[in-house]
Structure 1
Amino acid sequence: MADFQGYFFLFVLWIISTILIRKFFNSNSAKRNIPPSPFALPIIGHLHLLAPIPHQAFHKLSLRYGPVFRILLGSVPCVVTCSPEMAKEFLKTYENAYLDRPQNSAVVYLTYGSKDFSFAPYGSYWKFMKKIVMSKLLNGTTLDLLLPVRHDEINRFIKSLSQKAKVGKAVELEGELVRMSNNVISRMLMSERCSEDDNEAGEMRKLVTEIAEITGKFNLSDYIWIFKNLDIQGFGKRLKDIRRRFDSLIEGIMKEHEEARKQKSGGLKDLLNILLDVSEDETMEIKLTRENIKAFILCFEWKAGKDGNLTTVDMEEGVGITLPRANPLVCIPVARLDPIPLSI
């Protein structure tokens, strides 16, 4: 009986606190003229309304609360827009207020404190990196110089299909296209094929798969404040292990490039070499550190995607990385493939 009374008291206390919190938010909403919001539960906010398919849940909420409404993802306030007109207001009319991409603890840690290009806060560093990307890394001259890389990978791809066709072996074309695109990007970036059987390429492929997985998982500490300093899901330990392995691998590749540069050995200059040139250029307004370069490589490799269904390359994204900041698509173009010399 005593246990029942205790539980009943806690239940009543929870109801009263919920009503008071709701009343408090409603009064503040009226004062600040903020968008309407569904009833929120303590601690988790509106997370219970998003399962199992978030975009369908948003549509149902918009039918009741209008094209713009406010939700709480745990303790993180968010505004949802569900109409093209309102989206235009957010992404065009008030673009400067919504330039930064949302970050979580995994992204921040793996990118050395958001020192990459995709998730760097909008400011002088991001503008500098965009200028480097457009003027040095992905300009017409660089893409033309790396044309042999793309031709070689296309020839490998066609030869592979031809050999499998001769023996009547079925081919999963989507997977082969993704693998070819990933090899092109990886070779353009640091002269390494991601689909080779050697240990280094296999480790890179495995790392990128793990990065794509862990950055896409829901982390309680990012959304619920009471778990902020707790690692109850084991994310912190996994992140440290992944970044340690990535850092060791990329450090080795960078040292190989630096050794080759000292010996002034000929060969094709990849994007990592260009980044090393920028880091050594004293006339640049911002000095690139090794962490900047590593985060940049991680960004490119991560966006490229690797084998499996965790992340893939959308062949129709285009030159997304050089488009305005509001564009959510980021990829390295596998473009300018014509003329393609076929030598099967």
Structure 2
Amino acid sequence: MSDFEAYFFLILILLISTILILAFFKSTRAKSNLPPSPFSLPIIGHLHLLAPIPHQAFHRLSLRYGPVFQLLMGSEPCVVASSPKTAKEFLKNYENAYLDRPLNLAVTTITYGAKDFSFAPFGSYWKFMKKLVMSQLLNGPAIDLLLPDRHDEINRFIKSLYEKASVGKAVNLNAEIVKVTNNLIRRILLGQRCLENAGEADYIRKLIFEITEVIGAFNLSDNIRIFKRLDLQGFGKRVKDIHRRFDTLIERIVKEHEDARKHGTQSAVKDLLDSIGYCRR
């Protein structure tokens, strides 16, 4: 009986302590003047309120809690601004506080620690890269030099449509336009178009699609701290595999640039690798 009483008092003390801690955090939150927030669940926070379509869920919550409210995305707090006026306050009037995009496992892994343009933190490195790209890659003379490339891709596109129409072959117009866009971007950035080999071109397109997908996908370890070192979804393994394949592709492109430079066969038009001096000497 004494053992039972000891356990009972221990449980009672833990219960009282939990209530006092929750009351303390509640009072602290009230004093900190935070935005209103729905009731959250342990571990997952407000994730259960965002199904099935997040932006519609945000709208429903705004009707109840107002244009600005706070949510817990697992363990990560965030503030939702759901009206044009409040969005202007965040994105224009206080622009410097919201310049950086949040980093997650996929972004950090695939972009070599946020060394790209989209996710690099605002600062001297980002300013340098922006200045370099705008002055060397996307300035007027460089755009004019790329005019023949743009004409060439459009002519190839029209010719492809004509040839398929001549034999009555169905055309996936969306896929063809994506192909033209990819070729133009690749010629601007890397100085070469997607390979005519359909298999390799499809491989590159699928790899880009996979990268886009994992960067926007939900990962438990990014949002819930207790899962930080776990890979319950196999997400980390998938990201590492994509990064390995992406790294292999980039290494091959860099090697091709090195060889072209050594043999003097590089294009007269500078691409991104030439502009930033990325090629190894």
**TM-score class, shorter:** 0.7 to 0.9
Give the Cα–Cα distance (whole angstroms) in 2 for the partners of residues 178 and 199 of structure 1: 16
Say whether 1:53 aligns with 2:53.
yes
| Greater relative contact order (Cα < 8 A, sep 6+) | 1
**How many Å apart are 1:243 and its aligned residue?**
1.5
TM-score by length of 2: 0.87
Superposed, which structure 2 residues align to 1:303-314 within 5 Å?
none
Say whether 1:241 aligns with 2:241.
yes
Give the Cα–Cα distance (whole angstroms) in 2 for the partners of residues 266 and 123 of structure 1: 33
More helix by share: 2
2:68 is aligned to 68
2:189 is aligned to 189
1:338 is aligned to none
RMSD of aligned alpha carbons: 2.5
Q: Which amino acid in the other structure matches residue 127 of structure 1?
A: K
Contact 2:120 2:126 in 1 (8 A): yes
Give the Cα–Cα distance (whole angstroms) in 2 for the partners of residues 221 and 85 of structure 1: 34
Q: Which amino acid in the other structure matches residue 51 of structure 1?
A: A
Superposed, which structure 2 residues align to 1:1-344 within 5 Å?
23-194=23-194, 196-197=196-197, 200-265=200-265, 267-275=267-275, 278-279=276-277
**How many Å apart are 1:18 and its aligned residue?**
8.6
Give the Cα–Cα distance (whole angstroms) in 2 for the partners of residues 145 and 214 of structure 1: 35
Contact 2:254 2:279 in 1 (8 A): no
Contact 1:146 1:268 in 2 (8 A): no
SS, match of residue 71 in structure 1: strand
**How many Å apart are 1:45 and its aligned residue?**
0.3
**How many Å apart are 1:172 and its aligned residue?**
2.9
Deviates more, 1:153-162 or 1:190-199: 190-199
Deviates more, 1:97-106 or 1:44-53: 97-106
Contact 2:186 2:192 in 1 (8 A): yes
1:341 is aligned to none
Q: Which amino acid in the other structure matches residue 208 of structure 2?
A: V
Give the Cα–Cα distance (whole angstroms) in 2 for the partners of residues 148 and 43 of structure 1: 56
**How many Å apart are 1:196 and its aligned residue?**
2.9
Give the Cα–Cα distance (whole angstroms) in 2 for the partners of residues 257 and 185 of structure 1: 17
Give the Cα–Cα distance (whole angstroms) in 2 for the partners of residues 48 and 18 of structure 1: 24
Deviates more, 1:48-57 or 1:207-216: 207-216
Closer, same or farther: CA 40–160 of 1 in aligned 2, 3 Å: same
Closer, same or farther: CA 164–200 of 1 in aligned 2, 3 Å: closer
Runs of at least 5 residues in structure 1 that lack an aligned partner in the other structure: 1-11, 280-287, 291-344
Contact 1:136 1:274 in 2 (8 A): no
SS, match of residue 230 in structure 1: coil
Give the Cα–Cα distance (whole angstroms) in 1 for the partners of residues 50 and 258 of structure 2: 49
Flag the structure with larger Rg. Answer: 2
Q: Which amino acid in the other structure matches residue 112 of structure 1?
A: Y
**How many Å apart are 1:84 and its aligned residue?**
0.5
Q: Which amino acid in the other structure matches residue 196 of structure 1?
A: E
SS, match of residue 71 in structure 2: strand
Contact 2:257 2:266 in 1 (8 A): no
Please give the per-residue CA displacement for 1:46-75, whole angstroms capped at 9, x wherever unaligned: 000000011111111111111000000000
Contact 2:191 2:267 in 1 (8 A): no
Runs of at least 5 residues in structure 2 that lack an aligned partner in the other structure: 1-11
Give the Cα–Cα distance (whole angstroms) in 1 for the partners of residues 229 and 17 of structure 2: 25
Closer, same or farther: CA 19–163 of 1 in aligned 2, 3 Å: farther
Q: Which amino acid in the other structure matches residue 61 of structure 1?
A: L
**How many Å apart are 1:199 and its aligned residue?**
5.8
Give the Cα–Cα distance (whole angstroms) in 2 for the partners of residues 262 and 234 of structure 1: 42
Closer, same or farther: CA 60–17 of 1 in aligned 2, 3 Å: farther
Report percent identity of matched pairs.
Answer: 67
SS, match of residue 43 in structure 1: coil
Closer, same or farther: CA 236–266 of 1 in aligned 2, 3 Å: closer
Closer, same or farther: CA 164–25 of 1 in aligned 2, 3 Å: farther
